[in-house]
């Protein structure tokens, strides 16, 4: 069949050797100026942890009002369910590293305050923090529950257990409103004093999982009641 045959699809791809077709199809890009100063003054002291993840989750759960919460995969979601189940809690049941990306998307599409309960292991498995800094949603708070371990898979140590400072990582990514908390009083103070986002609260914890049960909700139920609660 010839190329003018109406029954034959015509495929056009950017394969011209000089790249002219590619350039013609792309919108004009405007890049920001890259000349700038980059400096960071930072010093923190890590104390021996006194809280577990469940301790921290209970502090936050007790302080929740109208915020929508995205909880990290596995045991953290179970612990939030045990501490304070709400229709505006979105429990992650099977998507490693996706709590903060989901929270970011929600924050960009709603005026509601969005809180993400994420972990050191999950955040170290994604490059989402620079995207959060670039998008800068004022209604987003990320709580990094840093127990230095992959808690849902056997408490294997993460690089945050003795090397990576998660708050410093967030600062280096461009998030300016950060703090480090290491006991319940500091966590309560950080929660109450957080201002315009994005906020990053780094909570230093002992490893370990609370003896809580499974969430008695199917994934579709979790999604549907969350969407209803957001008024979508």
Residue 11, in any domain of the structure:
no
Q: Is residue 2 part of a domain?
A: no
CATH of the domain at 196: 3.40.50.970
Residue-level pLDDT at 21 = 57
DSSP 8-state secondary structure symbol assigned to residue 139: T
Residues 164-218: tens digit of each pLDDT: 999 999 999 999 999 999 999 999 999 999 999 999 999 999 999 999 999 999 9
Task: Kindly report which listed range (22-26, 75-79, 100-104, 171-175) carries the lowest average pLDDT score.
Answer: 22-26
Give the number of domains in the chain: 1
Q: Is residue 212 part of a domain?
A: yes
* Residue 114 maps to a domain: yes
Query: Residues 13-36: pLDDT tens digits?
Result: 555 555 555 566 778 888 888 898
8 in a structural domain: no
Q: What is residue 94's predicted lDDT score, i.e. its pLDDT?
A: 80
Phi, psi of 196 (to 5 degrees): -60, 135
At residue 3 the predicted structure's pLDDT band, cuts being 50, 70 and 90, is: low
Domain containing 71 equals 53-229
* Helix or strand run (H / E) with residue 130: helix 128-135
Could you tell me which residues come within 8 angstroms of residue 41 by beta carbon, excluding any fewer than 6 positions away?
A: none
* Residue 103 pLDDT grade (very low, low, confident, very high; cuts 50, 70, 90): very high
Q: Is the dihedral of CA 147, 152, 157, 158 positive or negative?
A: negative
Identify whether 41 is part of a domain. Answer: no
């Amino acid at each position: 069949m010839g190329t003018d045959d109406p029954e034959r699809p015509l495929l056009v791809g950017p394969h011209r050797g000089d790249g002219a077709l590619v350039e013609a199809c792309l919108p004009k890009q405007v890049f920001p100026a890259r000349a700038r100063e980059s400096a960071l003054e930072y010093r923190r002291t890590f104390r021996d942890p006194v809280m577990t993840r469940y301790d921290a989750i209970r502090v936050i759960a007790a302080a929740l009002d109208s915020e929508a919460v995205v909880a990290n995969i596995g045991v953290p979601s179970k612990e939030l369910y045990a501490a304070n189940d709400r229709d505006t809690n979105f429990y992650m049941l099977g998507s490693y590293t996706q709590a903060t990306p989901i929270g970011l998307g929600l924050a960009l599409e709603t005026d509601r305050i969005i809180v993400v309960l994420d972990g050191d292991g999950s955040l170290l498995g994604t490059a989402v923090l620079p995207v959060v800094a670039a998008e800068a949603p004022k209604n987003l708070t990320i709580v990094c529950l840093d127990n230095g371990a992959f808690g849902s898979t056997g408490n294997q140590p993460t690089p945050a257990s003795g090397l990576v400072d998660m708050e410093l990582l967030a600062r280096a990514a461009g998030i300016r409103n950060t703090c480090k908390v290491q006991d319940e009083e500091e966590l309560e103070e950080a929660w109450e004093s957080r201002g315009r986002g994005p906020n990053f609260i780094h909570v230093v914890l002992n490893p370990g999982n609370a003896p809580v049960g499974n969430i008695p909700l199917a994934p579709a139920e979790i999604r549907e009641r969350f969407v209803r609660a957001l008024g979508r």
